[in-house]
Amino acid sequence: MPGKLLRSVLIGLIVGGILLAAMPSLRQWQLSSATPSDTADESPASYNAAVRRAAPAVVNVYNRALNSTSHNQLTLGSGVIMDQRGYILTNKHVINDADQIIIALQDGRVFEALLVGSDTLTDLAVLKINASGGLPVIPINPKRVPHIGDVVLAIGNPYNLGQTITQGIISATGRIGLNPTGRQNFLQTDASINHGNSGGALVNSLGELMGINTLSFDKSNDGETPEGIGFAIPFQLATKIMDKLIRDGRVIRGYIGISGREIAPMHAQSGGMDQIQGIVVNDVAPDGPAAQAGIRANDVIISVNDKPAISALETMDQVAEIRPGSEIPVVIMRDDKKMTLHVAVQEYPATN
């Protein structure tokens, strides 16, 4: 018994010695745990500065339509104040069939807007308000190029809840074929774009305009509801369309009546064309300018108006900038023979 007691005492002394030896470290750990970290005084990561720069220029758009079934049918969307003259960009589908367009600013001011013009191919519309005081204008950096992975914020008025900010990244650039009436160049983002966000601003982490929110996928072909897939019209294209609508009231585009796809050099080589890069013609509009000039399906376009045809989208955009009535050279390859055809550019057919 005395032996067991002595052994217990010895064990206790050893454990006590270990604790005493460790006490400075334990004491230091307790102090470091109890003392707030130096980083507690630092601000958390935030996009508040970007929101404060951009959000005042994003407005609520209300489309009031009168019809036989309803005397006060209201469609809502968003818009972006582009300059101090009172020009506002929004989506065409937001103001379709409007009898009255009301603009509500974030500072409480309300205006009736005039429709300057709209464009179906880009789903853009320009509105005008007359404001006596100054207007908040969206920041734009003309040299800013959107890149995949850039952080973006979507600003708008979803479901008329009031101005709302959602955050995501640019998921893809150069998306085409999303608008059933056009082939326009879209930004894809996973920032939520809901009903009412249409026409609002997609801005970067500095609050600079990257695009005009336009649509999201409601349902896929198999009936599923996709998440995190929304689209915006790049600001470079949007401002170009705005300038044309202000100047002419409509967008005048050159048109040659073809659709095509890029052909890679390796594909060209395997197809018997030695290192040819260009655009393979998929379809030619019957009696269109290209058809009248002799261009056929499966021709490979090498250049258009003396510019290399590398990207189908870029080439069609270049054609769109050519004044209707102009005649341009189009170099093609057909049956391993290069030839130059001359195409009379027409105006792009009107769309509703």
- For the domain with range 254-347, which CATH number is right: 2.30.42.10, 3.20.20.70, 3.30.1370.60, 3.30.2090.10? 2.30.42.10
Task: Give the pLDDT confidence score for residue 118 in this predicted structure.
Answer: 95
Q: At residue 205, does pLDDT exceed 80? A: yes
DSSP string across 48-113: HHHHHHHGGGEEEEEEEE--SS-SSEEEEEEEEE-STT-EEEEEHHHHTT-SEEEEE-TTS-EEEE
Active site residue 326: no
pLDDT tens, residue by residue, 325-351? 999 999 999 998 999 999 999 998 876
Torsion of CA 228, 233, 234, 237, to 10 degrees: 170
The superfamily in CATH containing domain 151-248 is Trypsin-like serine proteases (2.40.10.10)
Q: Which entry of 78, 93, 216, 299 is annotated as an active-site residue?
A: 93
Annotated binding site for substrate: 181, 256-261, 348
CATH class of 49-128: mainly beta
Region 23-35 average pLDDT: 40
Percentage of the residues of the chain whose pLDDT score is greater than 90:
58
Average pLDDT over residues 143-168: 94
pLDDT over 80 (residue 150): yes
* Fold: same for 151-248 and 254-347: no
pLDDT tens sequence across 263-311: 866 454 555 555 678 999 999 999 999 999 999 999 999 999 999 998 8
Is the confidence at residue 28, as pLDDT, over 50? Answer: no
Q: Confidence class of residue 71 from pLDDT cuts 50, 70 and 90?
A: low
d(CA 210, CA 144): 8
| pLDDT at residue number 23 | 39
Lowest mean pLDDT among 110-124, 140-154, 166-180: 166-180
The predicted-structure confidence for 283-295, as pLDDT tens digits, reads as follows 999 999 999 999 9
Q: Active-site residue 93, yes or no?
A: yes
Q: What pLDDT sits at residue 44? A: 82
When the pLDDT of each residue in the chain is averaged and rounded to a whole number, the result is 83
* Residues of each annotated binding site: 181, 256-261, 348
pTM of the model: 0.76
> Which is higher by pLDDT, 176 or 153?
153
Q: Where are the domains of the chain?
A: 49-128, 151-248, 254-347
Q: What's the confidence (pLDDT) of residue 217?
A: 61
Tokens of 43: 């601000």
Among the listed residues 78, 118, 119, 123, the single catalytic one is 123
* 336 given a catalytic annotation: no
Who contacts 168 (Cβ-Cβ below 8 Å, separation ≥6)?
151, 152, 154, 189, 190, 191, 192, 228, 230
Among 78, 118, 171, 198, the one annotated catalytic: 198
What pLDDT does 312 receive? 84
In this predicted structure, what is the pLDDT of residue 222? 60
